[in-house]
Amino acid sequence: MPKRAAIAAAIAMAAGGCGGSTKTVTVTTRAPSVATSSTTTPASPEVLAVPTIGGFYGRCPRGAGVWTLQFVVPATSASDTITSKIGSGPLRRAQVNPGQAATFRLIPNAAHVRQPADPMSGHRATTVPTTEPLDIHISQATESQSLRLDVHLALTAIGGETGQCALAASRVNARTYFNGAQ
């Protein structure tokens, strides 16, 4: 299977965590720059993951004023360059090294998205309260290839008191560019 197809096929949504310690790069819409601080690996459930590039981890507790979402680069991976924007906020750029994380602070119920009717399940069209969308472009270059991942996501809380996040009106586009002979 070509690497591009393997990456696209490997996109996974699951609940779980990861081990080890990380450093955190904090990206916020109000901050004039990106700050680095030490922290432990998120104990939050996995929201979205792409092996070798990284994963998004977060909790979406009902009633909280801010939800924290982290993009963690695996310790065994290469560095990622990310460009991100929350809603109509400023564009931010950061280098996230292996074992580090970029942290995003999202405001719950700041936006609403229309979910279309689903004829397979019988669900009617509805409007769902979400965070403002996070648009993030992730690039990872190694000697053999360059990987590009474009993610547009908005989060909503899963029903109940679990604090788990659900993707709403979200999409992922993964591309691979080979540097030289294959």
How confident is the model at residue 36, as a pLDDT? 40
Q: Are 98 and 73 in contact (CB under 8 A)?
A: yes
How confident is the model at residue 181, as a pLDDT? 55
70 in a structural domain: yes
Q: Would you place residue 161 in the very low, low, confident or very high pLDDT band (cuts 50, 70, 90)?
A: confident
DSSP string, 111-165: EEEEEPPBTTTTBPPEEEEEPPPEEEEEEEE-SSEEEEEEEEEEEEEPSSSS--E
pLDDT in tens, 70-119: 999 999 999 999 999 999 999 999 999 999 999 999 999 999 999 999 99
Closest to 164 in 3D by CA, of 1, 12, 8, 16: 16
Q: Which domain holds residue 32?
A: 3-177
115 in a structural domain: yes
Percent of the chain with pLDDT over 70: 75
Backbone phi, psi, residue 9, to 5°: -70, -25
pLDDT in tens, 18-54: 334 334 444 433 333 343 443 445 568 999 999 889 9
118 in a structural domain: yes
Q: Would you place residue 17 in the very low, low, confident or very high pLDDT band (cuts 50, 70, 90)?
A: very low
- Alpha-carbon distance of 94 to 85, in angstroms, equals 12
82 in a structural domain: yes
When divided into structural domains, the chain yields a total of 1
- Alpha-carbon distance of 67 to 157, in angstroms, equals 10
Give me the sign of the Cα torsion angle 4, 9, 11, 17: negative
- Alpha-carbon distance of 96 to 70, in angstroms, equals 11
182 in a structural domain: no
- Whether residue 8 is predicted with pLDDT greater than 90 in this model: the reply is no
